[in-house]
Amino acid sequence: MSWVTFVLVVLGLIFLALIVYWQFIIAEGTYLGSWAVTWLYDWSAHVYERIKGFNVGDEQWFLGLPLARALAMIPAPLVLDVATGTGRLPRALLRQPAFEGRVIGLDLSRRMLREAVQRTAQFADRLTYIWQDAQELPFEDGTFDAVTCLEALEFMPDPHRVIVELIRVLRPGGVLLLTNRIGKDARFLPRRVFPRDEFELMLQETYPLEDVKVQVWQVDYDLAWGVKRGEPRGGSIRPLPDIMRCPHCGHRLGPALADSGNGANEAAYHCRGCRRVYPIAEDGVIEIAQPRRP
Ligand SMILES: C[S@@+](CC[C@H](N)C(=O)[O-])C[C@H]1O[C@@H](n2cnc3c(N)ncnc32)[C@H](O)[C@@H]1O
C-alpha cells in the first residue's frame, strides 16, 4: 500500500467515525428515522436517569411548581406528557401538593416506559402510560388541560407535525409546554431545532397559540409556554374510553377483554371501527404502537 492510499484510508475512517458520532451520539438517530431513535432509547433506558442526573429540587422548582401554578384554576387537570421518557414530568408534577389532577405519559420507547412505570409507582393511581408515536396521538381533539413535550422535539422526523398534533389534543385555553434545543450541538441538528431568536415569534404566528413566552431553562434547552387560542371550555379529568381514539381509523376505543393467544383473556382496548386490539401489558402500559388485528 502506498503512503497516499494509506492517508486516504485513514482520512476515510476518520470521516466515517465523525459521521457515526454525529448520527448516533449528537443526533441520537433522528436523521435515520424513529426506529433508530427508539432503538437507542430502548438500549440506554436503564442508564438514562444516571446520565441525566435530575435534581429533585430543581425539577420541582423549575418544572413541577410552575406547571401546577399554571393549572391552579382547574380543579382536577388532565395532563398529557408526550415523549415522557422515564416519567420525569409526571414525577415533578404529581409531587406538587397543589396538583390534584391526572397525567398520561406517552413514549415510543417501550423500555423507557418500563423504567417510568417503576420510577413513578407511588403515583400509579393517577398516572397512565401509553406506548405510541407522538406523530399520531390516540386522543380526541381538545382533550387536555396541558400538553407537554420536553427534550424530545428534535428527535422527531417532523417537529412541526408533532407541534400541530400536540395542539390538536389541547383544549382551547389549555397550556402548551415545549422545549427547543440550543447550545453547541444545536447547529448539528438542522431541520430539527428552531433558531433561538425566532422560536417565540414562530410559535405565536404559525400555530393557534397566544401568550407565548420562551425562557432560558437549561444549558441545552429553552422552555416555551403558550396557551391555545379559542374560548376556554371543558377541562378536568375524563375517563380514558371517553378520550381515546384509534390512530388508524379515528374511531373511539373501548375497554375489552382480548384473547392473549394462549387461551387466556387479557385486558385491552378495542377499536369500535377497525376492531384492532390494543393490549394493556402486565405493567399497565397501553400498547397502541403494536396493535393486534382482530
Ligand atoms: C431526551 S428523552 C426526553 C424524555 C423526557 N421528556 C425527559 O425530559 O426526561 C427523549 C424521549 O423522546 C422519545 N421519543 C423520540 N421520538 C419519539 C416519537 N416519535 N414518539 C414518542 N416518543 C419519542 C424517546 O423515546 C425518549 O424517551
The distance from CA 161 to its chain's CA centroid, rounded to whole angstroms, is: 13
Q: Is 268 in the pocket of ligand 1 (CB under 6 A)?
A: no
Any ligand 1 atom below 6 A from CB of 156:
yes
What is the C-alpha to C-alpha distance for residues 18 and 108, in angstroms, rounded to an integer?
A: 27
At residue 261, the pLDDT reads: 67
Determine whether the shortest distance from the Cβ of 83 to ligand 1 is under 6 A.
Answer: yes
Cα–Cα nearest to 101, from 92, 113, 109, 93: 93
How high is the pLDDT of residue 237? 84
Using CA atoms, how far residue 198 sits from 155, 212, 220, 224, in Å, is: 20, 12, 17, 12
Radius of gyration for the chain, computed over Cα atoms and rounded to the nearest angstrom: 21
- Which residue's alpha carbon is nearest to atom 8 within ligand 1? 150
Rounded Cα distance, 166 and 78, in Å: 14
Atom number in ligand 1 closest to CA 42 = 25
**How does pLDDT run across 164-183, given as a tens digit for each residue?**
999 999 999 999 999 999 99
Q: What is the pLDDT of residues 3-18, one digit of tens each?
A: 899 999 999 999 999 9
Name the pTM for this structure.
0.96
- At residue 46, the 3 state secondary structure works out as helix
152 CA from centroid of ligand 1 (Å): 5
Give domain 53-228's CATH superfamily: Vaccinia Virus protein VP39 (3.40.50.150)
The predicted pLDDT at position 234 comes to 66
More confident residue, 51 or 265: 51
How far is the centre of ligand 1, averaged over its atoms, from the C-alpha of 157 (Å)?
12
Farthest CA pair distance, the chain: 76
Tell me, in angstroms, the distance from the centre of ligand 1 to residue 81's CA: 10
Q: How confident is the model at residue 236 (pLDDT cuts 50, 70, 90)?
A: confident
Report the residue among 151, 160, 177 best suited for mutation to probe ligand 1: largest number of ligand atoms under 8 A from its CB: 151
* β-pair partners for 278: 269
User: Hey, how many other C-beta atoms are within 10 angstroms of the C-beta on 239?
Assistant: 8
pLDDT number for residue 14: 94
